[in-house]
Amino acid sequence: MSPIYLAQDPTLADFGRDPWWLVLGKIVFAFAFGLLATLLGVWFERRVVGYMQVRPGPNQVGPFGLLQTLADGLKMAFKEDILPKAADKVVYFFAPTISVICAVTALSVVPFGPMVSIFGHHTPLQVTDVPVAVLLLLACSSMGVYGIVLGGWASGSTYPLLGGLRSSAQMISYEVAMGLSIVAVFMTAGTMSTSGIVAAQGDGTQLTVFGQTVPAPGWYAILLLPSFIIFFIATVGETNRAPFDLPEAESELVAGFMTEYSSLKFALFMLSEYVAMVTMSAVTTTLFLGGWRAPWPITIWEGANSGWWPMLWFFGKVIALVFVFVWLRGTLPRLRYDQFMRLGWKVLLPINLVWILVLSGLRSIEDWDTRGKVIAVGIPAGILLLATIFWPSRRPKPKPTTQEQVDNRPHGSFPLPPMDLQVPPSPRITRVVAEREPANIVAGSDSREV
C-alpha cells in the first residue's frame, strides 16, 4: 500500500490537541448526523418497505415525501401529553432520554474519516478515541436498554412491564454473543481503539495463494466471517428490530413498553430506536467493513482513502447496512420468545466460543501466515454457521388435502358447505318464484324462468 494511506491514519496521539471550537464542531456534527440520519432513516424504511409491498409509501409532503418524517415529528410533539396516574413521574420522564443519550454517545468514538485539514488544523474526522473505545461502544449499547426497562416499569401498567422485562432478557442473551464477536476483532487487530481497528483493516498485508502473492482481504467481515455474522445478528437483537422486536410486539403487548407513552416522549423512544440502528450500523462498518476505507475497485484510485472522500465511503456502507435492517423487517416474521432465547443461548453463544478457541489456536502457530489461515478456516466456518442457523430443524409434514380435513373433523362439529362450492338454491326463493309465475314451470323440468 502506498505511504499516502498510512500517513492518513489517525493514532491516539492525534487526539486531545484540537482547539475548543473544533471539538465543539465535531460534537455538533456527530449529534446532527444521528438526528438527520434518523429523519432520513424513517423515510428510507417506509419507502423501501412500500416498494417491497407494491405501494408508493410517503410521497406527498415535500419532494419524494422527504418531509413526511418531519411533519410526523411535529405532529407528535404538539399532541396532548398524558401522564398515567400510577406512573413514577421522575423515572417516567427520564426513561426516553436515557435511550436517546446512550445511542448518540456511541457516535463519539466512531471514525468518520482520516486526517483532514479544517481551517489549517490537521485533525482526524472523529470526536475522540481512547484505548478501550470498543468497550465504550458496548457500554452504550448495554445502557440503552435501561431506558426501555425503566420506561416499562415506571408506567405502572402490566403490558409495559412485560415489554421491559422482555427487553432485559433480550439484552442479556445477545450482549454475550456480541462481546465474544468483538473479542475476535481484538485478537486480530491487537487494539481496542476504533481508529486502530480501521487502520489494521488496511495495512496492505500480502497473501500467498497457490504460489502467487496477492493483496490479502483486509475487512474483518471476510477474515472473521463467523464473528461478523454473529455480531450483526446480535446487533439486530440489541436494537429491538424485527424479527427480534419482542419488547414492543404490538400484536401481543398492545404496544409493548411504549403503551402508556404519548406525545414527545413517544417520539423520543422512536427516535432512540432509529438512532441506535444507525449507530450500530456505523459500529459494524468500523469493526468489520473497513470503516471509512474505500471498497475495491475504488481503491485502484490512489486518492480514494485521503481527504474528504472517505466520508462518502463510510456513509455508503452505513446506508447499505440500514437497508439490511429494513429488508429484514419487510421479509421476516417475528420469532417466538422461545425461538429467540434458543437462538441466542444454544446456537450463537456455543458457536462463538468454539470459533474463539479455533482462532486462538490458529494464531499460536508461528510458521503459518496468520491472515491466510484465518481466511482458510473463517470462510468455511461462516458458511457452516449460516447453514446451522437457517437449516430447517424438522421436515415439514405434508399438508392434508381438503377431503382429508373433512374426514378428520370431529363428530358433531359445525357443518361445512359443499366441497364443490355449488350452493343449492334457497327454498324461500324457489317458493316465491313458483307462487309468482306458476305458468312458467315447464312440465317434467326443474328449470324456471325468472
> Which residue among 391, 407, 435 closes a domain?
391
Asked if residue 199 is part of any domain, the answer here is yes
Q: Are residues 296 and 382 in the same domain?
A: no
Query: Model confidence over 137-177: pLDDT tens digits?
Result: 888 888 888 888 888 889 888 888 888 888 888 888 888 88
Across residues 379-404, what is the average pLDDT?
71
> Which residue among 365, 391, 417 closes a domain?
391
Q: Are residues 288 and 380 in the same domain?
A: no
Query: Model confidence over 9-40: pLDDT tens digits?
Result: 788 888 888 899 999 999 999 999 988 888 88
pTM: 0.79
Asked if residue 8 is part of any domain, the answer here is no
pLDDT category of residue 447 using cuts at 50, 70 and 90: very low
Asked if residue 249 is part of any domain, the answer here is yes
Number of domains in the chain: 2
Asked if residue 440 is part of any domain, the answer here is no
Asked if residue 43 is part of any domain, the answer here is yes
Least confident of 84-93, 323-332, 338-347, 397-406: 397-406
pLDDT above 70: residue 343? yes
Q: Are residues 329 and 343 in the same domain?
A: no
Please check whether residue 402 is in contact with residue 419, taking contact to mean a CB–CB distance below 8 angstroms.
yes
Q: Are residues 202 and 170 in the same domain?
A: yes
Least confident of 74-78, 127-131, 163-167, 274-278: 163-167
Residue-number span of the structural domain to which 280 is assigned: 20-335
Asked if residue 430 is part of any domain, the answer here is no
Asked if residue 435 is part of any domain, the answer here is no
The predicted pLDDT at position 368 comes to 52
Q: Are residues 198 and 249 in the same domain?
A: yes
**Mean pLDDT rounded to a whole number for the chain:** 80
pLDDT above 60: residue 439? no
Q: Are residues 207 and 234 in the same domain?
A: yes
Asked if residue 402 is part of any domain, the answer here is no
